[in-house]
Each structure stands twice: as structure tokens, then as C-alpha cells.
Structure 1
Amino acid sequence: MTGVRKAVAAALLCAAAVAGAATPEQETLDRVARMRAMPAAAVDQDAQQQRRDLDAAWRWFGNNKTAALPVLRRELAAELKKAKPNQLVLLDVGYFLRAQGEPSDRALATQALLAIDADGIVPKTQSQQLFRFVHASAPDKDVRLFPLIDKVFLRGHVTVFVPQHGYTVDETSVCIYLYGQYGELAERHLRGLLRDPAVANRALEVLMWVGSPDSVPAVAALLTTPDADTFARAVTFMLRAGGPQGREALLAFDARGLTGKAREFYLQTRQQLASMNFDTLAQQLADAPPSEKAPPPRRLDEAATRQVLATLSATYGSYEGIQPMELALSALPRQQLIDELLRIRQRSLLRISGEALTDIDTTNTLINTLRFRPN
């Protein structure tokens, strides 16, 4: 009988353990509840610990996605109906649904992102996670996010550490990664902010990367600014992204009123204007100065050009093994080539690394060079 009693006792203990074990659905609810209960982080050290706790919840959700996703959808939808939704739930559950949910979850995730208070606790303590959420959502080009991006990132001082690359995205590059995916929508939006002295310099820095000759008139209006830093950024935009229109605006500019650093900067750049033509700019795209023994660059036909562009797109804009100068000289019509490169630039912005920015800079240089090409 002793053996029977032991077997029965063991069975009862096992049943009790099973009965007491939380189901994945209940565990998901418990983790969301703990998320709601987190106090506002008072100092950076608290915020870092909070992030570690939130990341642990993320890992659990990811490892139990089938059970977790339906619960997370219900919990986030319920949170959004509250007068004051919990900001950490909006951030982390919303971003999880965006990053690891189904395509149908994107609308709910966007609602969560739009409900985040730009003046609240999330931008103050979880700005890097907020950047990731916005960056993942930017390809949708939802302009309703512009007020949040403007307030937190354009007017703020957010940097983002990328541990897998040992790389920190600086304040301006953070904005480039976000606005850049919006293309022309962002360019028009940023042009409208150039009249605001508080953000004009940062807006110009971003426009250098995402702008076009369409912004030349708005930027030209800043050439009369008394602020030497703003003036230098306006001139740099003309040279980097303004195409022939930018060159003509600088040539037409009356510099007699310039003094100090602004005058020195203008005189230095004025010397570049005479040599701003397609042949000179295309040569600058070469990896090394040409030599008499070096074969001339290939002039790719349309089929070969499209193949190179397809490779660029597939690699998210990596120029490894690709000669930008050959694209500049290719047979593909200029505007078609520019349009393809603009699409590739937006794909490149999905890569967050120093190498990606180098490739994007190459794409931008190539686009600006092509604007000088006759056809």
C-alpha cells in the first residue's frame, strides 16, 4: 500500500502543478499587466532597467507568438479606448504587432503610435524604442506621424545605439532615416519648416539627404540670413541636392552683403560652381583618378543598367561591386534612372548602419550628377 500511496501522492502533485501553471494566454496577460504597472522611470538607470524588463517581455511574446498575438491585439485595442492609455503598452505592444504581427495588425499598431504623447514619458525615457517603432512604420508614408516626428526627433536630441554594428545614429541621421522614407511628402513638409529658426538648420541638414531641386526656391530665401551656420547649410544644400537649379541660384546670388564666416564660405564654394557640369561630376564618382592605361568606363545599355539597378535594390542599396560612374554614363534615360535610384534610396533607409549612410550618400551624389546630364 505504501507504494500505491506514493504513486497517488505523486499524481496529485503533478495535477496540482499542471493546474497551477499559467497558460501562454494567461502569461501574456500577466506580462501586459506588469507592463501597465511599471512606474515612470525617474532617471536614466531606471529607464535602462525598464527597457531590459520590456525586452524580456518581447522575447517571451516572440517565443510564444501563436498564443500571444490574439491576446496582444485585444489588449491593445482595449487600451486605445481608454481616456489615458498606458504609454508603455502603446509603445511596446504596438511595436511588437508592427514588427512581428500580421500585415492586418499594422492599422492597429499605427493607431497605437499615433496615440503616443509626444510630450509624455515615452519620448523622455524610451526614445530609442520609439525611433524603431516610427522607423518600422515610416514605409507606410502616413503623414499623421509628422507631428510626432517633428516634436520628438527634429526638435529633440535623440541618438540611437545599434549594438549589432557598434554604431550610434546621430541626431540628424535619426531624422534622415525617418523622413527619408516619405520621399517627396517629407521634402514638402520640411520646406514648410524652413521659416522656423528653431528647426531651420536641422531641416536643411535633412533636406541635403532627401531633398531635390524642387526645394531650391525655399532654400534660396535663406541665403540672406544673418546666421552664418544657416547660410552654410543652405549653400551646401544647393551643391549637394539642388542640381543645375541650385548652381544657378548660387551664381545669381548677390554676395556683396556677406561678411565674416558666411563670406569666406561662399567664396570657397563659388570656385566650385564653374566646374559643376556632368562630365566633372561623373568623373568624381570614379573610385580613383583615371590613368592612360585604365580602360574607359563601360557605357551600360538599358538591359545591363536595369540588371545593376535590380542588384542594388536586392541589396538595399549596397554598392559593393558596382561602379556608380557606369550608372551615370548608362544608356537608360536620365529621368527613369533618377526615379529608380530614388526608390533604391528609400530601400537603403531600411538599413540602419554607417555603411548604409555611405551608400545613401553615393546614391544622392549619383542622383545630383544625373540632374546635370543632358538626357
Structure 2
Amino acid sequence: MAVLKRAVAAAMLAVAAVSSVAATPEQEALDRLARMRAMPAASAGQEAQQQRRDLDAAWRWFGNNRTAALPVLRRELAAELKKPRPSQLVLLDVGYFLRALGEPPDRALSMQALLAIDPAGIVPQTQGQQLFRFVHASAADRDPRLFPLIDKVFLRGDVTVLVPQHGYTVDATSVCIYLYGQFGARAEQHLRGLLNDRAVVNRVLEVLMWVGSPDSVPAVAPLLDSADADTFARAATFMLRAGGPQGRDALLAFDPRKLQGKARQFYMQTRPQLAGMRFDTLVQQLSDSPPSEKAPAPRRLDDAAARQLLSSLFASYGSYEGIQPIELALAAMPAPQLIDELLRLRERSLLRISGEALADIDTTNTLINTLRFRDN
């Protein structure tokens, strides 16, 4: 009997020991990664949503046990990347976790994971929103190796992103604006190279309206001769919104006689605006109402005051609440310097994902285009 009791006690201790080992944070992290690797390829819809909930639960655990989890995640992700066919979900979620909640040195490993995601694989098909967040967080590095992934999944795809805390859905074009916009002039140059691709030309033009500059006018101008009315309208709108004086001049030089239908109608509606495209008229568009009704008369800011206002905008990630944009347009700071600062502000504003952010970015873009008409 005593022998039996000792055997039972030993067995219980063994079970307790196993449970203790299984309960360690490192083992728990490994178990969660194993379950992640074992997840089958989910189809779109409810199955993918349930998979996302399961993955989010793992994220929360990793976040709550960050100190213990990070060494495991680094080691396991590095090992995953060496496999001939790495788990796409591990690349996505562990890579993004290291980007969002890891240490600065983790960014290189995170980028390797992002670049290893198959643009035609299961992740873009079922986890497009999470992939957007991962790419958006990584775009600040301005690594041009990301362009093929962004082109394939987002420019040529139709990914929309729900932002539940704002009750807002980012449409497919705005998704591209948020991603390409952080690359600055490098993205504009890349997008210009896609203007001859009929499959994406309209969306490329839509993105260039937000992140383009007069540098793209020579590449866009031939599209004014497009037989497609939608392409023509987008090309003309780019000239008006982002082309500066060069865009205006391209439209003035354009021969509209061969236009027909919707394209001609659009041009006839647009043509009268061209005469008013000069600084003194454009600057008034930055004032929503007469100063006497809603706001004091705009101040004439000296260089120091303009820099202080820009600093406030930068600190708020580009929110114009309580700020009159016209004051920047009229500031004493030289126009080229103002434009450079506003371009930096636009990239920072793209870190905010909301409808309000896009409205603020639109204001910044209007300021930039207006300042291109200023003499100094």
C-alpha cells in the first residue's frame, strides 16, 4: 500500500512538473506559435475573421508577456525565415509584432519577414487589413523593396481597412495614399513609371493627386489625350490639384477640340478655373469664411512665428484645429522652405489613419499647391 501511495505521489509530482513547465512564459509562447503554424489556410469571410480573432488573442498574450515573449519571437521568426516555405501567418503577425512592440534593432528582422510574405498568397487574400497595418508601420523606413508588395496587393488589389475606433473605413485608393505617401519623392517617381499601365493608371493618378508634384506634369500631360474619359478627368484634376503653375500651363496649352462626351463636359467645367490660378486668388480658398464671421483676421507671420506654427502642426501630426492655413500661405518664410516643411508635415500626417487626417492632408496639399504660385 505504501508503495502504491509513493507511486501515486510520484505520478502527481510528475504531472505537476509537466504542468509547471508548460506554464512557463517561454513554453506558452512556443505553444501559441505552434498553433499559429498549424492554422489552415482560411477562406475569406467569417472563417478568416475567426482566424483573425485567434491571432489577435496570441498578440494580446505576447503583449501582456512582452519581456518573456520577445526573445522567443525573435528566435522563432529567424528560424521561420530559413524554411523553404515559411508560415505566412507567422511572418505576418510575429513580424508585425516585432515592428510595433519590439525594440529598434528588431526592425531589420521585421522587415525581412514582411518582404518574405507572398504577394499572391493567403495573407493578402484573407488578412489584408493586418498586412496594411504592417506595411503602413514599416513604410516610414522608405525601403523601395516594399514597392512590389504594395503594387501587387494594394495598388492592383481592392483592400479596404476598417478603423473601428473612428467608425471609419479607409477606401482602396486612400489605402494606397497612406502607403506610398510616406516614401515622398521616391514613391512619386515609382508611380510615374506605372502611368502607361492601363490596368492601374486611374488609381495611380488618384494617388498622385495626393502625393505628386509638378515633377510629374510631363509624365501626366500625354494622358490628357486619352480616349478614356475617366483617365482624362483624373489627369486634368492632377494638374489642378498638384501640378502648380506647370500643371496650369499644361492645361492651357491643351487642345480640347477632339474631346467628346464626358471628357469634353469635364474640360468645359474646368477651363474657367485656369484663369484664376494665381496666388492672390488661390490663397483665398484657404479661408473657409470671411474672417469677421468665424475667426480673427489672419496674422502676417514673420519667419519665427511661422516656424512656431509649423512646430505645433508637426506635434499634432498635422491637425489644423484652431489654425488658419491662410496664415502660413502669407507668412514671411520663403515659399520653397515652407513647401519643404509642409511636405514633411504631410508625411507625418499620414501616420494618422482617419477621415479627419485625410481632410487635414488635403488642406496641407492645398497649401503646398498654392505656395507654388507664390513668387518667393
Give the TM-score category using the shorter length. over 0.9
Per-residue CA distance 1:5-57 (angstroms, 9 max, x = gap): xxxx9999689546513210010001000000000002411100000000000
Structure 2 vs 1, CA of residues 316 and 11 (structure 1 numbering), >3 Å: closer, same or farther? farther
Per-residue CA distance 1:119-151 (angstroms, 9 max, x = gap): 000000000000000000000000000000000
CA distance in 2, matches of 1:287, 1:230: 30
Per-residue CA distance 1:336-369 (angstroms, 9 max, x = gap): 0000000010000000000000000000000000
**Match for residue 325 of structure 1?**
326
**Match for residue 234 of structure 1?**
235
**Match for residue 24 of structure 1?**
25
Normalising to structure 1: TM-score of the pair? 0.95
CA distance in 2, matches of 1:293, 1:63: 48
CA distance in 1, matches of 2:294, 2:342: 31
Matches of residues 112-261 of structure 1 in structure 2 within 5 Å? 112-261=113-262
Matches of residues 261-340 of structure 1 in structure 2 within 5 Å? 261-289=262-290, 296-340=297-341
CA distance in 2, matches of 1:339, 1:197: 32
CA distance in 1, matches of 2:183, 2:323: 26
- Tell me whether 1:74 sits opposite 2:65 in the alignment: no
Shift of 1:298: 1.1
Per-residue CA distance 1:183-236 (angstroms, 9 max, x = gap): 000000000000000000000000000000000011101000000000000000
CA distance in 2, matches of 1:294, 1:353: 26
Per-residue CA distance 1:60-107 (angstroms, 9 max, x = gap): 000000110000001000000011111000000000000000000000
Contact between 2:209 and 2:238, CA under 8 Å: does it hold in 1?
yes
CA distance in 2, matches of 1:371, 1:30: 58
Contact between 2:139 and 2:179, CA under 8 Å: does it hold in 1?
yes
Where structure 1 has 5 or more consecutive residues not aligned to the other structure, the ranges are: 1-8
**Match for residue 5 of structure 2?**
none
Structure 2 vs 1, CA of residues 318 and 194 (structure 1 numbering), >3 Å: closer, same or farther? same
CA distance in 2, matches of 1:76, 1:292: 59
Structure 2 vs 1, CA of residues 63 and 246 (structure 1 numbering), >3 Å: closer, same or farther? same
Contact between 2:44 and 2:125, CA under 8 Å: does it hold in 1?
no
Partner amino acid for 1:228? A
CA distance in 2, matches of 1:139, 1:292: 41
> Per the alignment, in what secondary structure is the counterpart of residue 298 of structure 1?
coil
Matches of residues 89-104 of structure 1 in structure 2 within 5 Å? 89-104=90-105
Stretch moving more, 90-99 or 16-25? 16-25
**Match for residue 6 of structure 1?**
none
Contact between 2:195 and 2:204, CA under 8 Å: does it hold in 1?
yes
**Match for residue 4 of structure 2?**
none
Stretch moving more, 286-295 or 214-223? 286-295
Per-residue CA distance 1:140-187 (angstroms, 9 max, x = gap): 000000000000000000000001111000000000000000000000
Per-residue CA distance 1:254-310 (angstroms, 9 max, x = gap): 111111110110111000000011011111101203569986421100110000000
> Per the alignment, in what secondary structure is the counterpart of residue 164 of structure 1?
helix
- Tell me whether 1:369 sits opposite 2:351 in the alignment: no
Structure 2 vs 1, CA of residues 319 and 292 (structure 1 numbering), >3 Å: closer, same or farther? closer
Contact between 2:291 and 2:298, CA under 8 Å: does it hold in 1?
no
Structure 2 vs 1, CA of residues 228 and 102 (structure 1 numbering), >3 Å: closer, same or farther? same
Partner amino acid for 1:352? I
Where structure 2 has 5 or more consecutive residues not aligned to the other structure, the ranges are: 1-7
Contact between 2:188 and 2:212, CA under 8 Å: does it hold in 1?
yes
Partner amino acid for 2:302? D
**Match for residue 62 of structure 2?**
61
Partner amino acid for 1:288? S
Stretch moving more, 139-148 or 295-304? 295-304
Partner amino acid for 2:143? D
CA distance in 2, matches of 1:200, 1:272: 25
Contact between 2:299 and 2:327, CA under 8 Å: does it hold in 1?
yes
Partner amino acid for 2:258? G
**Match for residue 4 of structure 1?**
none
Partner amino acid for 1:351? R
Stretch moving more, 288-297 or 262-271? 288-297
> Per the alignment, in what secondary structure is the counterpart of residue 277 of structure 2?
coil
> Per the alignment, in what secondary structure is the counterpart of residue 168 of structure 1?
strand
CA distance in 2, matches of 1:211, 1:314: 24
> Per the alignment, in what secondary structure is the counterpart of residue 103 of structure 1?
coil
Structure 2 vs 1, CA of residues 18 and 302 (structure 1 numbering), >3 Å: closer, same or farther? farther
Q: Count how many residue pairs are aligned between Structure 1 and Structure 2.
A: 368
**Match for residue 347 of structure 1?**
348
CA distance in 2, matches of 1:117, 1:198: 21
Partner amino acid for 2:99? R
CA distance in 1, matches of 2:44, 2:356: 33
CA distance in 2, matches of 1:150, 1:134: 12
- Give the percent of matched residue pairs that are identical in Structure 1 and Structure 2: 80
